[in-house]
Amino acid sequence: MEYINISMPKDFSITPGPRNRSEGDFSGQQFFEEILDPTFAEALKENKGVTINLDGTLGYGTSFLEEVFGGLARKYTPEKVFKNLIIISNEEEYLKNDIDNYIKNANK
């Protein structure tokens, strides 16, 4: 499978923020609406997957990750997300596990 690559620090910000736009800059909502959702939709259309590289930022709040990945699973179903999304996180290996949980529990 071919992949479209997203780098968080290069394509978005080194300081990912809170959950919603109303709470502050570089929110999860902003990342989801401006970058991840359109990229994921395009990838599905072209039978491709998406990789997101999370390294190189100051860190991620729970709200940001839940809004982005839980939001993606709410829109496209957890099965589609698991099938078409690869998370790269070498600095914080535990984030992959955290994100898996946000995807699994997206509709709870």
Partner 1 sequence: MQTNKITSIIYYSLFFLLGSFFSYSFFILMLNNNLKIAEKISIGFDPSNLLSIIITLLLALYITRKLDKKTTENRVEKDILIDDIKQFKYKFYKEIHDILNSKKILYIEVVAKLKTIRMRFQSINKILKKYGYDMDNNRIAKLDENIRDIKDLLTETPKTKDKKQIIVNNGELSFGTKRREDIEIALDDISSKIFELIVQINKF
Determine the interface stretch with partner 1 among 3-11, 37-45, 64-72, 76-84 (rule: CB under 8 A): 64-72
Determine the interface stretch with partner 1 among 4-12, 32-40, 80-88, 90-98 (rule: CB under 8 A): 90-98
Answer for which of 6, 12, 16, 52 binds partner 1 (CB under 8 A) is 16
Minimum distance from residue 52 beta carbon to partner 1 (Å): 17
CA 98 – CA 106 distance, rounded (Å): 12
Determine the interface stretch with partner 1 among 2-10, 38-46, 55-63, 76-84 (rule: CB under 8 A): 55-63
Answer for which of 15, 55, 79, 96 binds partner 1 (CB under 8 A) is 15
Looking at residue 36, its amino acid is L
